[in-house]
C-alpha cells in the first residue's frame, strides 16, 4: 500500500476497524474509507456493490460482522451467523467485481476445533468439532476463509485471511453479559467496586486459558500482513502469550481497585479449554506486540471510564432539558408583565 492508496476498512465502527483506521492514519495513510458509513447495510448486496462502484477502493480490510461473548453466542446464534455470512459474501464479491488490489479478511480464533492441539496452527482448521457455544459464529468465519480461498483459486483474486486472537482495547463493547470476556469483566467488576460488593462471581471454572491481543497491536499486525504477506493459507495474528481466566480476573482486580473476593460458578460453560495461537508466520515477518498486557488492560479500563463519564454527562444534559421543558409557560392570550392595559 502507498500512503495515498484508497483504503477501505469495512466495519470501521467496530473495535478492530476503529483501531485499523487510527493506526493507518498514524502511519501516514491519508486516503481512508469506512469511518463514516453508518447508513451502509453490509448485508445488502446492492448497497455494498454501489459503495464499491462509487468509492473504488484499492485495498480492503474486512473487519465487519457482529460478534459477542459466550452469552451472545448462546442467545443470538442465527443473528451472528447470518450477519457474518452475508457481510463476508457481499464484500468479497464486490471486491472481486471492482478489482480490488488486495483484501485482508479477518476471521476468529474460535474457528479452530474445540480440542485443537495447542498452540493452534493454521493447518489445524477443520480437523475436529467446533466449540458448541460459538459454533454458528465460527462456521460463518470458516465460510469466509474458504470463500477467500475459492475466489483466489478460481479467479486469482488477491484475498488474504488473518485469524486474530481474542481482541480487546479502547472503544470495546462494555455492555455486560453479551460482550467479550475482558470488557464484560471490566464493567461488572467496576460496578461491584462502586457498590462495595464483598464478592465477585465469574462464569465457569476460571481454568480456561486464552490468548488476548490489544486492538492497536493487532492493527499494526494487519497492516504489516497486507503489505508483506501474499499466501492462500490463513495467517494467525496472536500476541504470543496466554493467561487463565482466573489470572486475568486477579489482574483486573488490581487495576480496577476491587477489594472483594473472586469466586467462580462452575455450572456455567467455560467455552474452549485452551485457545492459543501459533503465530510463527507472523513472527517471521518480524512483528511483535509493542504494548504490554497490563498496560493494554489499563488503557482499556480508562477508555471504559471515559465512556461512562460521557454517558453520565449526556444523561444529566437530557434531564436538564426535560426539566426546562416542563416549566410552566404563560397561557395563550394571557396578559404578560409590561403588557397590561387599564
Question: Quick check: is 137 catalytic?
Answer: yes
E-strand stretches of the chain: 7-10, 32-33, 59-62, 102-106, 159-164, 166-168, 199-203, 209-210, 212-214, 235-237, 243-244, 261-265, 274-275
Nearest-angstrom CA–CA distance, 128 and 110:
12
The neighbour count for residue 331, using CB atoms within 10 Å, is: 7
CA angle 294/240/243 to nearest 5° reads 50
Q: Are strands 261-265 and 199-203 parallel, antiparallel or unpaired?
A: parallel
Among the listed residues 29, 112, 137, 229, the single catalytic one is 137
Q: Which phi and psi angles does 141 have, rounded to 5°? A: -70, -40
Q: How far apart are the first and last CA of the chain?
A: 82
Nearest-angstrom CA–CA distance, 294 and 292:
6
Do 9 and 61 contact (CB within 8 A), yes or no? Answer: yes
Nearest-angstrom CA–CA distance, 120 and 242:
12
Nearest-angstrom CA–CA distance, 179 and 168:
11
Do 21 and 223 contact (CB within 8 A), yes or no? Answer: no
Q: Which residues are catalytic?
A: 137
Amino acid at each position: 500500500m502507498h500512503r495515498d492508496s484508497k483504503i477501505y476498512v469495512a466495519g470501521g465502527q467496530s473495535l478492530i476497524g476503529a483501531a485499523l483506521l487510527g493506526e493507518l492514519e498514524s502511519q501516514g495513510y491519508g486516503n481512508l474509507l469506512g469511518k463514516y458509513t453508518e447508513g451502509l447495510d453490509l448485508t445488502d448486496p446492492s448497497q455494498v456493490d454501489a459503495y464499491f462502484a462509487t468509492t473504488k477502493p484499492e485495498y480492503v480490510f474486512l473487519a465487519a460482522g457482529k460478534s459477542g461473548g459466550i452469552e451472545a453466542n448462546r442467545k443470538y446464534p442465527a443473528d451472528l451467523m447470518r450477519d457474518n455470512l452475508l457481510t463476508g459474501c457481499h464484500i468479497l464479491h464486490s471486491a472481486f467485481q471492482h478489482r480490488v488490489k488486495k483484501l485482508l479478511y479477518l476471521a476468529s480464533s474460535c474457528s479452530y476445533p474445540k480440542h485443537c492441539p495447542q498452540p493452534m496452527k493454521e493447518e489445524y482448521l477443520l480437523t475436529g468439532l467446533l466449540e458448541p457455544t460459538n459454533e454458528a459464529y465460527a462456521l460463518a468465519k470458516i465460510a469466509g476463509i474458504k470463500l477467500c480461498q475459492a475466489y483466489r483459486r478460481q479467479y486469482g483474486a488477491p484475498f488474504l485471511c488473518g485469524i486474530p486472537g481474542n481482541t480487546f482495547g479502547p472503544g470495546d463493547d462494555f455492555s455486560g453479559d453479551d460482550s467479550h470476556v475482558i470488557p464484560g469483566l471490566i464493567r461488572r467488576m467496576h460496578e461491584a467496586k462502586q457498590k462495595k460488593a464483598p464478592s465477585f462471581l465469574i462464569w465457569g471454572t476460571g481454568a480456561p486459558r486464552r490468548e488476548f491481543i490489544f486492538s492497536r497491536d493487532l492493527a499494526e499486525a494487519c497492516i504489516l500482513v497486507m503489505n508483506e504477506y501474499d499466501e492462500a493459507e490463513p495467517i494467525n495474528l496472536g500476541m504470543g502469550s496466554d493467561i487463565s481466566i482466573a489470572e486475568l480476573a486477579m489482574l483486573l482486580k488490581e487495576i480496577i481497585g476491587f477489594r472483594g473476593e473472586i469466586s467462580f460458578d462452575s455450572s456455567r460453560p467455560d467455552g474452549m479449554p485452551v485457545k492459543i495461537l501459533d503465530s510463527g508466520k507472523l513472527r517471521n515477518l518480524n512483528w511483535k506486540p509493542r504494548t504490554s498486557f497490563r498496560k493494554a488492560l489499563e488503557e482499556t479500563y480508562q477508555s471504559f471510564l471515559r465512556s461512562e463519564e460521557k454517558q453520565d454527562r449526556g444523561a444529566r444534559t437530557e434531564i436538564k432539558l426535560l426539566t426546562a421543558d416542563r416549566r410552566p409557560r404563560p397561557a395563550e392570550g394571557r396578559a404578560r408583565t409590561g403588557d397590561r392595559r387599564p
